[in-house]
Amino acid sequence: MEIKTNYHTHHKLCKHAEGTAEDYVKKAIELGFEELGFSDHAPSTTLKDNARMDIEDLPLYLEDLERTFKKYKDDIALYKGFEIEYYPENRQFYEQLLKEVDYLALGQHFLKNSTEKFDENYVFRLRKGENLIAYAKIVREAIYSGFFAFVAHPDIFLSQIPAIEDCPAALEAVRIITKASADAGVPLEFNANGIRRGKVEKAGKTYYHYPRKAFFQAAEKEGCRIILNSDAHSPGDLYDYALDEAKRLIDEWGITIQNKLVIKP
């Protein structure tokens, strides 16, 4: 499988990525990519985790993309987007953002619209069955909302669950998300950044934070569209060892990848 696209690209404005739009575009052209989509972490007035751009930097992001897209428009297809959480009370904000950009990627990192990390609100801490299900239901609502072009790292909520197949709540959560994705035709992302995060060792099992085999085999069976993205936080991530490892897992697990993304206008 040749990689010619990436729809999950960050920007230094989120404060934990490096590189300007031009740095990523140059690298993508050098790699022979046909399409590149930017989806830096959108600002939020409620989530204060320092993991997203400041609201006053939003125009800078759009200007940097605009300027760069003009310069390279004949060399590669470029798209503007954001990675963002879904909360029903933010619908107006999504509508506003979609006037400025081509797409939104759902990146659900918190169950509730707050950055509290102590009560299983943070996606990497989810453990209780009821919270796994609650998380899946938010993702389902987001999928049906029509705002999102794809679900970024849809299996990120399973990192505390070593044996998904032995956890009925996890299986139910996987079913909720994969069914909604297949039904609404919203793709699920096989995210290479979970490989960069390294492996979890838990209850005698060793696995990447994500992607997870049980999740993607269920998605494949359900007939979901699955896309592969780098989730690049530096230009060098556009193609690195994590993409090679992702390709290896995709083959080993029997997953079908269907890039390119059809970006809704």
Which of 115-123, 204-212, 215-223, 230-238 is the region at the interface with Zn ion (rule: CB under 5 A)?
230-238
Phi, psi angles (nearest 5°) of residue 208? -70, 150
Is 171:122 a contact under the CB 8 Å cutoff? no
Among residues 85 and 231, whose Cβ is nearest to Zn ion? 231
Binding to Zn ion in span 157-196, by CB under 5 A: none
Q: How far is the CB of 158 from Zn ion (least distance, A)?
A: 17
Which of 26-34, 135-143, 229-237, 249-257 is the region at the interface with Zn ion (rule: CB under 5 A)?
229-237
Binding to Zn ion in span 71-100, by CB under 5 A: 83
Residue with smallest beta-carbon separation from Zn ion? 231
Q: How far is the CB of 58 from Zn ion (least distance, A)?
A: 16
Among residues 135 and 167, whose Cβ is nearest to Zn ion? 135
Which of 64-72, 89-97, 173-181, 228-236 is the region at the interface with Zn ion (rule: CB under 5 A)?
228-236
Q: What is the distance between the alpha carbons of residues 173 and 158, in angstroms, rounded to a whole number?
A: 9
40 binds Zn ion (CB under 5 A): no
H runs (alpha helix) in 146-255: 168-184, 193-196, 213-222, 241-253
Q: How far is the CB of 150 from Zn ion (least distance, A)?
A: 11
Q: How far is the CB of 193 from Zn ion (least distance, A)?
A: 7
Q: How far is the CB of 162 from Zn ion (least distance, A)?
A: 24
Q: How far is the CB of 56 from Zn ion (least distance, A)?
A: 19
231 binds Zn ion (CB under 5 A): yes
Among residues 55 and 163, whose Cβ is nearest to Zn ion? 55
Q: What is the distance between the alpha carbons of residues 63 and 40, in angstroms, rounded to a whole number?
A: 14
Please enumerate in sequence order all residues whose Cβ is within 8 A of that of 176, keeping only pairs 6 or more positions apart, or say none.
Answer: 133, 136, 137, 139, 140
The conformation of residue 233, written as its DSSP 8-state character, comes to S
Among residues 102 and 231, whose Cβ is nearest to Zn ion? 231
- C-alpha separations of 91 from 139, 183, 185 in Å: 14, 22, 20
Residue with tokens 């699955």: 226
Among residues 26 and 233, whose Cβ is nearest to Zn ion? 233
Distance between start and end Cα atoms, the chain: 28
A 10 A CB-CB count for 213 gives 17
Among residues 138 and 167, whose Cβ is nearest to Zn ion? 138
Give the residue among 30, 26, 32, 28 at the shortest CA–CA distance from 8: 28
Q: How far is the CB of 75 from Zn ion (least distance, A)?
A: 24
Among residues 17 and 167, whose Cβ is nearest to Zn ion? 17
Q: What is the distance between the alpha carbons of residues 110 and 128, in angstroms, rounded to a whole number?
A: 15
Binding site for Zn ion (CB under 5 A): 83, 231
